[in-house]
Amino acid sequence: MLRSRIIPCLLIHDGGLNKTEKFKPGKYVGDPLNAVKIFNEKQVDELMVIDIDAAVKGRAPAFDVLRNIAVESRMPLCYGGGVTTADQAAKIISLGFEKVSISSAAFQRPELIRQMAVAVGSQSVVVTIDVKKNAVLSGYTVYTHNAQKKQKMSLVDAMHQATELGAGEIVINSIDRDGTMTGYDLELAKLARAAVDLPLTFVGGAGSTDDMQKLIDTVGVVGAAAGSMFVFKGPYRAVLISYSRPGNLEY
């Protein structure tokens, strides 16, 4: 039976872990392998690893780094960043990752979604869509390349396209809520849930397990991902890696 997943999201920048706020330059929070070791002990549902430099710099995935992460990890892994070919996706899966996420490439060359689905199976293909609430018009604007490039396609159309081309999961990332720890954008979550039947994961805004429970109560079975909540402690945001689930989740 499907159940909700609680997912730490680790951002790799310049070889180290970084935590952004609204996609702006963030704070160094440690070494990726050390974080993986800690999350192993916490029995994490799934770990999302995103290289935020790769697409912006036109760089391929750092396969050596990914190999080390996969060897160390005892939990399901999803990787995103710089993937532009189905062969790269297949190599990442062969290293021990369960899923591969694409974002900018899904808009630059949508057919890649179908090619990846053929190569590794739809269940391993994730499309991540970064969105910002439109202050003038109703709805949300889609961005890529760390919120540097605006896309003309609407969020709903992008979700439909990903579904039709064979994606197995869609991640919705709120640029406005990134790193704020003020709660998920529940209106965004409801909009996305109404658009497609695919498994969904939401990231951006989680500051507590209560925020995650509200998301689950709003949209049902879902992936509730977070970054700051799992790496910061207290009002001064001291770095302390932790993991917790909403108390009434069934496992």
Active site residue 53: no
Q: 234-250 as b/e, with b when 16 or more CB fall inside 10 Å?
A: eeebeeebebebbeebe
Distance CA 108, CA 162 (A): 13
Contact 9, 39 (CB under 8 A): no
* Angle made by CA atoms 79, 89, 125, in degrees to the nearest 5: 70
Q: Which of 45, 53, 130, 185 is catalytic?
A: 130
Distance CA 189, CA 135 (A): 18
Contact 100, 80 (CB under 8 A): yes
Distance CA 35, CA 55 (A): 23
The secondary structure element, H or E, covering residue 29 is strand 24-30
Half-sphere exposure of 223 toward its Cβ, with a 13 Å CA cutoff? Answer: 25
Cβ atoms within 10 Å, residue 183 = 17
**Residues belonging to the active site:** 130
